[in-house]
Amino acid sequence: MNLIQKIASQIMASIKKKPSFFSCTQYRLPTKQELREIDDCNCSVDEIIQGTGYAIIGRGIKRQEQKDMILNIIESLCEIDPDNENYKEALEKAKKSPIKGSRQ
């Protein structure tokens, strides 16, 4: 393996896999299989918040219904791995997140 191939291999290995559920706007809750995939990716707090937000809201305006769906997803992740501090922190951050157009 030449130097360029070695560097390319290292770069590809360092690229973190993104859960497929986070790749497009879904407007729905993830399946159990998709929740397991999210759990397998070891996402950071920000990746969880951004990924669930994009999957549920896309580029739209967050309303209470969407916020509830986001909270539901993160709570489901907490149930899968109750010791995961990123899930706990993401849940607290999502709970505090304002809803557009509201006075919360």
Domain boundaries, given as residue ranges, for the chain: 61-99
Taking only the tens place, the pLDDT of each residue in 3-58 is 887 777 666 655 567 899 999 999 999 999 999 999 999 999 999 999 999 999 98
What number of other Cβ atoms are within 10 A of residue 19's Cβ? 21
Q: pTM (2 decimals)? A: 0.79
Cα 74 to Cα 88: distance, rounded to the nearest angstrom: 8
Q: Spell out the residues 6+ positions from residue 41 whose beta carbon is closer than 8 angstroms to its own.
A: 16, 17, 18, 19
